Amino acid sequence: MKAFITGGAGFIGSNLADRLLETGTEVTVYDNFSTGQDKFIRHNINNPKYTLISADVLDKNTLISAMSGNDVVFHFQANADVRGGIHNTRIDVEQNITGTHNVLEAMRVNNIKKIAFASSAVVYGEPEIIPTPENIPLIQTSLYGASKISAESLIQAYCEYFDMKSYIFRFVSFMGPRYTHGVIFDFMKKLKEDPTKLHILGDGKQRKSYLHVSDGISAILLAMKKSDKKTNILNLGNSEWINVTDLAYIVCENLGLKKVKFSFAGGIRGWKGDTPFVHLDISKISALGWKPDYSVKDTIIDTVKYLSENDDLLGAR
C-alpha cells in the first residue's frame, strides 16, 4: 500500500507515518511546515519507503502531482487552533474547507478511492448528551467546528459522486510524543516563564477527555480494516475525563513544582467556542475490538515527560 499523509510532519501525522512505515507501507508526507517540525521526521528521510514533499494543500496543482500513484489519503492537515477563528475569520475556511476540497479534487483526478479524515469532537458544539454519540444533531459554537463539519460534508458528497470510501474520525484532544499545542503545552510554557504561578483560562472546572496519540492511531488503523461502509464516522476518545484544575495539578507535580498559585479568568468556558464538557461515546470504535492502553492520567504524564525532554518545542510557538 502507498499512503499519502497531509500534515505528515505534524504531531499526529508524523506518528502515523512512523506506524505505517513499520508495517511496510510506502509513505508520502505532504506538509507546509507551518506547525510541522523537522525533528519529527528527520529519522525517516533516508528510508527508501519515505518521501517528503514540502508544499501547501492550497497549492492544488502541486498537490495533484504529488498525490499521483497513492492508494489511500490520510488528510490530517488543518488549522489546529480552535480559538484562532475569533481573530482570523478566514483561516478555518481556507485551511480546513478549501484545503479539504483540494485534497478531494486531487483524489478524484488521481482516481484514489479511500480517505481518512481527522475531524474533531468540536463539531458537537455543546451537546446535551454526555457521553456524546456520533448520531446527534450538530450545532456549531466555533468557526473551527463549522469548518470541520463542512469538510466532513464535502467528503461524504465526493464519496457519493465518485465512489470513494471515507473514514471520518471525531477526535478528543490527542496527547503524547510530539504534542505541540493545547492545554499542557500552554501550561508548561507559562510555568517555564514563571514556575510560581499558573493562569488558567476558564474556571478550572471544564471537564475534558484526552487520548494518547498511539491509542488514537491504533483506533484509526483498526477502523479502516474493519469498517466497510461508504462513509464511516467514528468517535475517538477515552472512557475517562478530568477537569482542568486536576490536570494542572498533575502537570505541576510531574514537573516537581510545589505550591504553584493558580488564577482563573472567565466563566465556564476558557474562550468563546470552548466546550465545558467533552466526553465522547466510544462504543462504536470499541465494538470493533479497540480500547485505549493509556488512562487519561498516564496520557498527561507521558506528555509532560516528552515536553520536559524536548523543551525547545515550548519556545517554537
Active-site amino acid positions: 144
Residues comprising the chain, all counted: 317
C-alpha cell at 145: 467546528
> Is 236 in contact with 285 (CB distance < 8 Å)?
yes
Between CA 205 and CA 216 the distance in angstroms is: 25
CA distances from 11 to 66, 183, 213 (A): 21, 15, 9
Concatenate the DSSP letters of all residues of the chain into one string: -EEEEETTTSHHHHHHHHHHHHTT-EEEEEE--SS--GGGTGGGTT-TTEEEEE--TT-HHHHHHHHTT-SEEEE------TTGGGT-TTHHIIIIIIHHHHHHHHHHHHT--EEEEE--GGGG-S-SSSSBPTTS-----SHHHHHHHHHHHHHHHHHHHHT-EEEEEEE-EEESTT--SSHHHHHHHHHHH-TTEEEEEB-S--EE-EEEHHHHHHHHHHHHHH--SSEEEEEE--S--EEHHHHHHHHHHHTT--SPEEEEESSSSSSTT--SEE-B--HHHHTTT---SS-HHHHHHHHHHHHHHTGGGGG--
Longest CA–CA span in the chain (Å) reads 59
